[in-house]
Structure 1
Amino acid sequence: AGSLILLTYAIHKEDPVFIVGQSLGSIIYIRNLVLIDRKKRALARANHNND
């Protein structure tokens, strides 16, 4: 969540270098959250199929 706040601040300051840096960090953070969610869903499906 902190990276999104910093990205918002960078956009407010209109600093292109700061924006690019924070955008990359935010993209990686969001990607990791998606991967974690996919793994949880796959495990839940596997457990449901085993019952």
Structure 2
Amino acid sequence: MAGGFLLAVSLVAGTILGAGQGQASIGFVAGFGVGLALALAVWLLDRRRTR
């Protein structure tokens, strides 16, 4: 499954939303955290499904 897509989209969205509030770096880090959690969830679900 495509967990990397969720990570990439979260990074871009977090940076854009953060830049809109004058905090692009914090938006990038927050987007990374959300994307990482989503990618991890996809990986865990896919791993459970294939076993």
Task: Give structure 1 stretches of 5+ with no counterpart.
Answer: 47-51
> Which TM-score applies when normalising by structure 1?
0.61
Identity between Structure 1 and Structure 2 (%): 5
2:21 equivalent to 1:7: no
Task: Give structure 2 stretches of 5+ with no counterpart.
Answer: 1-9
1:38 equivalent in structure 2: 43
How many residue pairs get aligned? The number is: 40
> Which TM-score applies when normalising by structure 2?
0.61
CA-atom RMSD in angstroms? 2.3
